[in-house]
Amino acid sequence: MDVGIELREVLLNRRAGNTTEGGYRHRPEVFNLGTIEFVCECRRSQSLRVVEAQKHRQIEEGVTKSTAAATAGHADLLEELKQQLAGPLLTAISDEFSNFQKTVIAYQNQLEYAELKIQVLEERLRQQRIAKYGPGSEKLSNAQLELLELEPGVSPAEVEAESQRESPASGRKPRRKHPGRQTLPGDLLRVEKIVACTPEQCQCGGCGGETTVIGYEESEQLDVDPAKYFVLVTKREKRACKQCEERGVVAAPLPERIIEKSLVSDQVVIDTIVSKYCDSLPLYRQSAILQRDLGIDISRGTMVGWVMCVGELLTPIVGVMRRELLGGSYIQADETPVEVQMHDGRGQNHQAYLWQYGTPGGDVVFDFRLGRGREGPKQFLQQFEGLLQTDGYSVYDHVGGPKIVHAVCWSHARRKFVDAVKLNPQDLAATHIVKLMNDLFAIDAEAREKNMDHAARHGLRLEKAPALLDKIRAQILEAQKNTLPQSATGKAANYTLALWSKLTRFLEYPELELSNNLAENSMRPIAIGRKNWIHIGSPQAGPKVAAIQSVVESCRRRKIPVREYLATVLPGLNNFSIHRVAELTPKA
DSSP secondary structure string, 372-419?
-STHHHHHHHTT--SEEEE-S-GGGGG-S-TT-EEEE-HHHHHHHHHH
Q: SS3 of 311, please?
A: helix
- H or E element, residue 317: helix 300-326
**Structure confidence at residue 108 as a pLDDT band (50, 70, 90):** confident
Looking at residue 15, what is its pLDDT?
Answer: 46
Q: State yes or no: pLDDT of 176 exceeds 80.
A: no
Q: pLDDT tens digit string along 323-350?
A: 999 999 999 999 999 999 988 888 889 9
DSSP secondary structure string, 88-157?
HHHHHHHHHHHHHHHHHHHHHHHHHHHHHHHHHHHHHHHHHHHHHH-GGGGGS-HHHHHHHHHSTT--HH
Which is more confident, 482 or 94? 482
Whole-number Å distance between alpha carbons of 512 and 408: 10
Q: State yes or no: pLDDT of 439 exceeds 90.
A: yes
Alpha helices in 165-212 (DSSP H): none
Whole-number Å distance between alpha carbons of 304 and 541: 10
Whole-number Å distance between alpha carbons of 17 and 451: 135
Looking at residue 32, what is its pLDDT?
Answer: 45
431-440 in b/e form (b: 16+ CB < 10 A) is: ebbbebbeeb
Q: State yes or no: pLDDT of 90 exceeds 50.
A: yes
Looking at residue 18, what is its pLDDT?
Answer: 47
Q: State yes or no: pLDDT of 307 exceeds 60.
A: yes
DSSP secondary structure string, 209-277?
PBP--------------------------EEE-SS-GGG-EEEPPPPP-SSTT-SS-HHHHHHHHHHHH
Looking at residue 156, what is its pLDDT?
Answer: 59
Torsions phi, psi for 371 (to 5 deg):
-130, 180
Domain extents in the chain: 3-117, 276-584
**Structure confidence at residue 247 as a pLDDT band (50, 70, 90):** confident
Q: Which residues contact 17 (CB under 8 A, 6 or more apart)?
A: 25
Looking at residue 566, what is its pLDDT?
Answer: 95
Low-confidence winner among 117-131, 182-196, 469-483 (lowest mean pLDDT): 117-131
Looking at residues 478-493, what average pLDDT do you find?
A: 89
**Structure confidence at residue 65 as a pLDDT band (50, 70, 90):** low
Which is more confident, 118 or 164? 118
The residue among 232, 320, 579, 557 whose CA lies nearest residue 565 is 557
Low-confidence winner among 102-106, 198-202, 280-284, 371-375 (lowest mean pLDDT): 102-106
Looking at residues 3-19, what average pLDDT do you find?
A: 46
Q: State yes or no: pLDDT of 465 exceeds 80.
A: yes
Whole-number Å distance between alpha carbons of 174 and 165: 15
**Structure confidence at residue 501 as a pLDDT band (50, 70, 90):** very high
Supply the pTM of this predicted model: 0.69
Looking at residue 83, what is its pLDDT?
Answer: 65
Looking at residue 172, what is its pLDDT?
Answer: 54
The residue among 278, 276, 279 whose CA lies nearest residue 303 is 276
**Structure confidence at residue 293 as a pLDDT band (50, 70, 90):** confident
Low-confidence winner among 154-163, 283-292, 492-501 (lowest mean pLDDT): 154-163
Helices 542-557 & 300-326, crossing angle to 10 degrees? 60
Looking at residues 224-249, what average pLDDT do you find?
A: 88
Q: Which residues contact 43 (CB under 8 A, 6 or more apart)?
A: 1, 3, 6
Residue 367 DSSP one-character state? E
Strand partners for 389: 332, 407
Torsions phi, psi for 532 (to 5 deg):
-110, -55
Looking at residue 56, what is its pLDDT?
Answer: 58
Instruction: Please answer whether residues 389 and 333 qualify as being in contact, where contact means their C-beta atoms are separated by less than 8 angstroms.
Output: yes
Q: State yes or no: pLDDT of 132 exceeds 90.
A: no
Looking at residue 47, what is its pLDDT?
Answer: 57
Whole-number Å distance between alpha carbons of 412 and 435: 15
Instruction: Please answer whether residues 118 and 486 qualify as being in contact, where contact means their C-beta atoms are separated by less than 8 angstroms.
Output: no
Looking at residues 278-300, what average pLDDT do you find?
A: 91
Q: pLDDT tens digit string along 214-223?
A: 999 988 888 8
Q: Which residues contact 83 (CB under 8 A, 6 or more apart)?
A: none
Whole-number Å distance between alpha carbons of 147 and 255: 67
Q: State yes or no: pLDDT of 569 exceeds 90.
A: yes
Looking at residue 164, what is its pLDDT?
Answer: 54
Looking at residue 29, what is its pLDDT?
Answer: 41
pLDDT above 90 covers a percentage of the chain that reads: 48
